Amino acid sequence: MGALHEGHASLIRKARKENDIVTVSIFVNPLQFGKNEDFKKYPRPMRNDIGICRQNDVDYVFHPDARQFCRADSLTEVGVKKISDVYCGKFRQGHFKGVATIVLKLFNVIQPANVYFGEKDFQQLFIIKKLVRDLNVPVRIIACPTVREKTGLAISSRNAYLNECEKQLAPLIYGTLQEARKKVIRGGLKTAAGVRKFVRTKLSPLIKGVRGLSSSPLKNKLRNVIESFYDGLVSIGRKERFAGVIALTALLWAICSFGLYLGLKSVNIQLNFWQSVFMLSMTGVAAVIPAAPGSLGTMEYFVILGLGIFGIEGNHAFSFAVIHRFFSWFSPVLLGMLVLIKNQLSFGDLKKKATQN
């Protein structure tokens, strides 16, 4: 799916040694992501991926457009029964069906003789082998060892999501399994129940650590905002583009602040421009806090709180909060509804388009 790392590079190198032509497919498959998974934020560093392919002497990179490769009118899907519904598949309904469908499409388009998969995604590897065997796909599946960091943690694109604490906890899984394996070989563990007890005991610090990481909705939302901001900075790339984004952002803030300044003037609230900028910041803080849809109630509270700092009494501040709500939220929503009606679109259509993009 892209975001290539040393694990992918090891597959490419093996393919290069064993074949005359090497093709790498890079495609973030929307069909294998669940409703609340990370499809939109999944890393897509295409320039870096192409660089890794060049360094490893790849002949072709196949990078299809999602709208063409996963057409909205497609009615066909591929699934491998039973083995797709256990382990990882039990918690990610439809995931392996999406994987199998796209992998088969890739086989049909590229028509490779040999295909290289890492053992890290072991259930996926087993499912693809079963798919090839059951459907008589003329391709040979070659399993390659998992590449790990020095800590024992399997190298993965999603490791970027781990904070420092999680990076220290995660290798405990592999280390514990290796320790249990040695004990079984030496005869120290002789039953499945004994292995389970040993693993659970050893992993208790990890379980406690994960529970400790579960945080409040506010903390999660703040973390998402920071991550989104960082992802945005990374996507900007070049310095000149970054300067342009900063300039446009400053212009947008100036326009919004001036509009707020005029709105305050219209209801006889005498604040200067910079005080209006502060009020705009207060509404921004309100939007970050988990609350009802559209920050209903939270935004009004922060508007009243902000105006109270400048000596505006509660009733007067509340009146402005209601007016501000109407013009800043309800009117754009109403306009959006009219656009949907005019174009004969539903919320389901918008959701489908967003998933495809």
Question: Would you name the residues annotated as active-site residues?
Answer: 8
Distance CA 93, CA 263 (A): 49
The 3 state secondary structure assigned to the chain is CCCCCHHHHHHHHHHHHHCCCCEEECCCCHHHCCCCCCCCCCCCCHHHHHHHHHHCCCCEEECCCHHHHCCCCCCCCCCCCCCCCCCHHHHCCCHHHHHHHHHHHHHHHHCCCEEEEECCCHHHHHHHHHHHHHCCCCCEEEEECCCECCCCCECCHHHHHCCHHHHHHCHHHHHHHHHHHHHHHHCCCCCHHHHHHHHHHHCHHHHHHHHHHCCCHHHHHHHHHHHHHHHHHHHHCCHHHHHHHHHHHHHHHHHHHHHHHHHHHHCCCCCCHHHHHHHHHHHHHHHHCCCCHHHCCHHHHHHHHHHHHCCCCHHHHHHHHHHHHHHHHHHHHHHHHHHHHHCCCCHHHHHHHHHHC
Using alpha carbons only, what angle is made at residue 153 by residues 152 and 155, rounded to the nearest 5 degrees? 120
Cα dihedral across residues 123, 124, 127, 133: positive or negative: negative
Distance CA 66, CA 33 (A): 13
Closest CA to 56 of 27, 25, 26, 17: 17
Residue 283's CB is within 10 A of a number of other CB atoms, namely: 21
